[in-house]
Amino acid sequence: MFRYILQAGGMNLPAPRETASTGTGPLPDHGGKLENGIRSHPRRLSWFRIGVVCLVLLGVFLPGTADAAWYNPGWAYRQQLTILSTVTTGTLTNFPYLVRITDPSNAVFANAQASGNDILFTSADGTTKLNHEIERYDATAKVLIAWVQVPSISSTVNTDIYMYYGNGSAPNQQNVNGTWDSDFVMVNHLHETGATQRDSTANNNTGTPMNGVTQGATGKVDGADSFDGVDDYVTAPDSASLQVISMTLEAWVYMPGTLPVSGFHRILNHGANNSANWYQLSYDATGLTTPNHFHFRWS
């Protein structure tokens, strides 16, 4: 499985589970599974991936209390979600934080709309609505995966937000483009099973799988794409938003074993070699014969 991020400014910001293959032509296939995203400007701090692990594995989704004001009487339920201060070494601002709930007993699955459209998030005051994108909501499988743009995540005190649900007449509460601000150039979650990989940003950098890419594979957070190691790739038309110069490339890679083709395999590529605004993240698979997970970072 693959995950990578391209971020301008040379800062490291893990991007759980986004996608994007960019460029104007085919990429040599890396073989395995891919998740990625592209960012155009740096945040000052990173380690979001660690934060996600803490949030999910430590079970810090806590029932809400009556301390904060209620968002709107049309919503019958809410839960308080606590982000531990230990997930970052400094303050994160307007950060798209991953909320993943897989506890089958969580009340959201029995009380939200079947589509999850009534789910919304607020800040700790209970009333200030936050931008969010729901990547997946499945009340039958008991899975909620959402990205919430949290105004501030502290490294010294825990950060609380609220999740509201239980309004059968509410329209879709998501603000997908607003969740990924102008710092993000391309965000493709790879959860689609059709041909197009949608971009969650306003840049509309959609990707198209080529030569039989297997969609719907199990990814780090949700979906992923699986490549055959020969000629599979995902392509997106070039655009002005992809013309970044200073950046960080980062990838989480699962390679199942010996690839059909040895040598260098590109994970992300933009433009022709040595052309203007050309960049590439690749690895040499020569000599690797057993399944391995890799974490690559280049600035």
What pLDDT digit, counting tens, does each position of 176-231 carry?
A: 999 998 888 888 888 888 778 889 999 998 888 899 888 888 777 787 888 887 88
Do the Cβ atoms of 207 and 187 come closer than 8 Å?
Answer: no
Q: Do the bridges between strand 36-39 and strand 2-7 make them parallel or antiparallel, or are there none, so unpaired?
A: parallel
Q: Say whether both 214 and 104 belong to one domain.
A: no
CB neighbours of 276 closer than 8 A, spacing ≥ 6?
Answer: none
Distance of CA 55 to the CA centre of its chain: 15
Q: Say whether both 119 and 220 belong to one domain.
A: no
Do the Cβ atoms of 14 and 261 come closer than 8 Å?
Answer: no
Closest CA to 232 of 249, 214, 250: 214
Q: Say whether both 55 and 149 belong to one domain.
A: yes
* Sheet of strand 159-165: strand arrangement: 61-63, 77-83, 159-165, 120-122, 129-130
pLDDT band, residue 34 (cuts 50/70/90): very low
pTM value surpassing 0.85: no
Q: Say whether both 68 and 34 belong to one domain.
A: no
Do the Cβ atoms of 136 and 98 come closer than 8 Å?
Answer: no
Mean pLDDT, the chain, integer:
76
Interval 72-87 mean pLDDT: 97
More confident residue, 145 or 293: 145
Last residue in a domain, options 129, 155, 179: 179
Torsions phi, psi for 55 (to 5 deg): -65, -40
Q: What is the pLDDT of residues 83-142, one digit of tens each?
A: 999 999 999 999 999 999 999 999 999 999 999 999 999 999 999 999 999 999 999 999
Q: Which of 11-15, 16-20, 46-50 has the lowest mean pLDDT?
A: 46-50
Closest CA to 23 of 208, 241, 271, 281: 271
Last residue in a domain, options 125, 152, 179: 179
SS3 percent helix, strand, coil of the chain, rounded to 5, is 10, 40, 55
Do the Cβ atoms of 296 and 284 come closer than 8 Å?
Answer: no
Compute the distance between CA of residue 24 and CA of residue 15 in angstroms, rounded to an integer.
Answer: 24
Q: Say whether both 68 and 167 belong to one domain.
A: yes
State what percent of residues in the chain have pLDDT above 90: 38
Residue 297's pLDDT is 66
Q: Say whether both 192 and 292 belong to one domain.
A: yes
More confident residue, 162 or 225: 162
Do the Cβ atoms of 207 and 225 come closer than 8 Å?
Answer: no
How many C-beta atoms lie closer than 10 Å to residue 192's C-beta?
18
Q: What is the pLDDT of residues 51-66, one digit of tens each?
A: 332 333 233 444 444 5
Q: Say whether both 201 and 248 belong to one domain.
A: yes
Compute the distance between CA of residue 133 and CA of residue 217 in angstroms, rounded to an integer.
Answer: 21
Q: Say whether both 93 and 151 belong to one domain.
A: yes
Residue 143 pLDDT exceeds 90:
yes
Residue 85's pLDDT is 96
Residue 7's pLDDT is 37
Query: For 218, left (φ over 0), alpha (ψ -120 to 50), or beta?
Result: beta
Compute the distance between CA of residue 159 and CA of residue 152 in angstroms, rounded to an integer.
Answer: 8
Q: Which amino acid is at 58?
A: L
Q: Say whether both 174 and 216 belong to one domain.
A: no
Closest CA to 166 of 75, 55, 275: 75
Q: Say whether both 103 and 159 belong to one domain.
A: yes
Do the Cβ atoms of 198 and 186 come closer than 8 Å?
Answer: no
How many C-beta atoms lie closer than 10 Å to residue 267's C-beta?
23
User: What is the domain count for the chain?
Assistant: 2
Range of the structural domain that residue 29 is part of: 2-42+183-298
pLDDT band, residue 171 (cuts 50/70/90): very high
Q: Say whether both 38 and 91 belong to one domain.
A: no
- In a 3-state reduction of DSSP, which class is residue 111? helix
Q: Say whether both 216 and 291 belong to one domain.
A: yes
Last residue in a domain, options 148, 179, 210: 179
Residue 137's pLDDT is 98
Do the Cβ atoms of 78 and 165 come closer than 8 Å?
Answer: yes
- HSE-up of 120 (CA within 13 Å, CB side)? 24
pLDDT band, residue 244 (cuts 50/70/90): confident
